[in-house]
């Protein structure tokens, strides 16, 4: 049975949903508020020598089956994202120290003998080994198993303390990528932390050759006739016969109707859209309470990769303002190199609130503290996701008590409206989550037309 479907948002979730719906023979219209498709996949190309960096989604792992499916189907080449295993730098609690590519080295913090042996990158797995093994099966029905569900009621910091993590280990874990969500380990649900760590532990990281924005561009080239950009949705309405969408376009107000709708709008943005009839009370609670992590990405390009001459890959974990640092040009050609600061939570809000000049000055100071003299900055850029009006944050995360309650509500169908987006997936924070959710929503629409759940 053929139907007419409106998809809100031309990020990866909306593009995947539209791609599948079109493939099944349905009529699809994608409404996108921005001038182009892509959502939170954003490749910055404002650098010399055709170098680039990712302001949004970065890596693909071998566990990201849905992402790999679409990358292959759309004919995009992949390559390992890190190349050779080079040393990394750390700056935690006033100490600057060097680690090998596996996180091993002389750590000047008070760690237990087992923690020293595990290495910095193995600290979370050391203390949460059993939980991480269970969390690897993210796609299984009925996840999480009953014995894991109580972890959602406590913070990640509390769980790590109960498992024997030392204060030094907690400081190091906070400085790793898992510390980018929220305002610290205390604010993140323990179950959420286990999931985030399980989804990010793969050492085989891949990237799309030429930049990740080639993925939404490949989708958009196949869906070009369906996409209406610069179209801001202001009101949604539905009844027993269909859905009605009121929007603002460069040519004035417009109203579109369809049989069903797939909504991929992040919940903080969706909260500002009028809905008739209102969402059920529990859905309203999910929309109101779900959080998106503040994320500020800052980039500086240098004429020479002085860090590589020191045997460093450009990666650093710190408790400074720059937080995590990596080099997006590790696999790119040319003598120049880029270092990127990836900050989340409180630091992201503080850094994002500054002027561009002041932000770059602080980042440059911290980079020099970690790597030494880097030379003159040739080009710079930054992106503040919490200030992006159609995102209002970098990725979804869940505080204690939210993962097992809000996530099922987030993905629940409401009448003729289906929900997708990384915030509705167990793989939230990854391209795989957005793509998986879009494909799921398309299947829900298809099943509903046949009277199946």
Q: What CATH number does residue 263 fall under? A: 3.50.50.60
In a domain? residue 90:
no
Q: Give the pLDDT of residue 329.
A: 96
Are residues 259 and 343 part of one domain?
no
Are residues 220 and 334 part of one domain?
no
Are residues 33 and 58 part of one domain?
no
- DSSP designation for 59: -
Are residues 368 and 306 part of one domain?
yes
Are residues 347 and 336 part of one domain?
yes
Read off the pLDDT of residues 324-355 as tens digits, 9 standing for 90 and up. 999 999 999 999 999 999 999 999 999 999 99
Are residues 300 and 276 part of one domain?
no
In a domain? residue 95:
no
Q: Residue 451: pLDDT above 70?
A: no
Q: What CATH number does residue 162 fall under? A: 1.10.405
> SS3 of 87, please?
strand
Q: pTM for the complete prediction?
A: 0.94
In a domain? residue 221:
yes
Contact present, 395 and 260 (Cβ < 8 Å): no
**Domain extent at residue 16:** 4-40+213-291+397-449
- Residue 453: which pLDDT band, with cuts at 50, 70 and 90? low
Token pair for 185: 């380990």
Contact present, 431 and 12 (Cβ < 8 Å): yes
Are residues 34 and 115 part of one domain?
no
Read off the pLDDT of residues 186-211 as tens digits, 9 standing for 90 and up. 999 999 999 888 877 666 889 999 99
Are residues 305 and 231 part of one domain?
no
Number of domains forming the structure of the chain: 3
Token pair for 437: 């959710």
In a domain? residue 379:
yes
Are residues 221 and 79 part of one domain?
no
Q: What CATH number does residue 309 fall under? A: 3.90.660.10
Share of the chain above pLDDT 70, in %: 96
The residue among 387, 418, 436 that closes a domain is 387
Q: Give the pLDDT of residue 204.
A: 81
Token pair for 72: 């292959």
In a domain? residue 381:
yes
Are residues 383 and 304 part of one domain?
yes
Q: What is the mean pLDDT of the chain?
A: 93
Read off the pLDDT of residues 211-224 as tens digits, 9 standing for 90 and up. 999 999 999 999 99
In a domain? residue 94:
no
Are residues 338 and 272 part of one domain?
no
The residue among 148, 167, 200 that closes a domain is 200
The residue among 147, 176, 200 that closes a domain is 200
In a domain? residue 91:
no
In a domain? residue 101:
no
Read off the pLDDT of residues 50-88 as tens digits, 9 standing for 90 and up. 999 999 999 998 889 999 999 999 999 999 987 667 899
Phi-psi region of 430 (alpha: psi -120 to 50; beta: other; left: phi over 0): beta
Read off the pLDDT of residues 354-382 as tens digits, 9 standing for 90 and up. 999 999 999 999 999 999 999 999 999 99
Read off the pLDDT of residues 131-159 as tens digits, 9 standing for 90 and up. 888 776 655 666 777 888 999 999 999 99
Q: Give the pLDDT of residue 201.
A: 66
Are residues 283 and 404 part of one domain?
yes
Count other Cβ atoms within 10 Å, centred on residue 282.
13
Q: Give the pLDDT of residue 36.
A: 96
The kind and range of the H/E element at 300 are: strand 295-302
Q: How large is the average pLDDT for residues 384-413?
A: 96
């Amino acid at each position: 049975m053929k139907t007419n479907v409106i998809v809100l948002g031309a990020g990866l979730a909306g593009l995947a949903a539209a791609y599948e719906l079109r493939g099944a023979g349905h009529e699809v219209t994608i409404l996108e508020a921005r001038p182009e498709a892509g959502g939170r996949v954003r490749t910055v190309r404002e650098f010399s020598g055709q170098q680039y960096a990712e302001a949004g989604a970065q890596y693909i792992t071998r566990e990201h089956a849905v992402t790999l499916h679409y990358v292959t189907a759309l004919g995009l080449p992949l390559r390992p994202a890190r190349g050779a295993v080079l040393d990394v730098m750390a700056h935690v609690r006033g100490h600057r120290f060097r680690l090998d590519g596996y996180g091993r080295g002389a750590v000047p913090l008070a760690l237990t003998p087992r923690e020293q042996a595990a290495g910095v990158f193995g600290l979370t797995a050391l203390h949460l080994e059993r939980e991480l093994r269970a969390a690897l099966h993210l796609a299984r029905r009925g996840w999480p198993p009953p014995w894991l569900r109580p972890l959602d009621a406590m913070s990640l910091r509390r769980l790590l303390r109960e498992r024997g993590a030392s204060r030094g280990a907690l400081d190091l874990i906070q400085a790793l990528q898992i510390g980018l969500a929220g305002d610290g380990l205390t604010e993140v649900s323990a179950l959420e932390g286990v999931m985030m760590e399980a989804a990010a532990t793969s050492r085989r990281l891949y990237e799309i050759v030429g930049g990740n924005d080639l993925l939404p561009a490949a989708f958009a080239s196949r869906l070009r006739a369906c996409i209406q950009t610069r179209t801001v949705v202001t009101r949604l309405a539905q009844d027993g016969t269909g859905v009605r969408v009121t929007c603002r376009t460069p040519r004035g107000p417009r109203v579109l109707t369809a049989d069903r709708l797939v909504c991929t709008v992040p919940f903080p943005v969706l909260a500002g859209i009028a809905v008739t009839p209102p969402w059920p009370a529990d859905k309203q609670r999910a929309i109101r309470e779900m959080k998106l992590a503040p994320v500020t990405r800052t980039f500086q390009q240098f004429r020479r990769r002085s860090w590589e001459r020191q045997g460093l890959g450009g990666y650093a974990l710190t408790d400074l303002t720059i937080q995590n640092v990596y080099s997006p040009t590790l696999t790119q050609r040319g003598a120049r190199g880029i270092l990127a600061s990836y900050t989340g939570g409180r630091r992201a809000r503080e850094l994002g609130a500054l002027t561009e000049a002041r932000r770059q000055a602080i980042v440059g100071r911290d980079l020099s503290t970690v790597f030494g003299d880097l030379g003159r900055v040739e080009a710079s850029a930054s992106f503040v996701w919490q200030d992006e009006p159609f995102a209002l944050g970098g990725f979804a995360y869940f505080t204690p008590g939210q993962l097992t309650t809000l996530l099922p509500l987030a993905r629940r169908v409401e009448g003729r409206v289906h929900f997708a987006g990384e915030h509705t997936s167990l793989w939230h924070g990854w391209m795989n989550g957005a793509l998986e959710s879009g494909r799921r929503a398309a299947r829900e629409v298809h099943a509903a037309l046949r009277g199946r759940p």
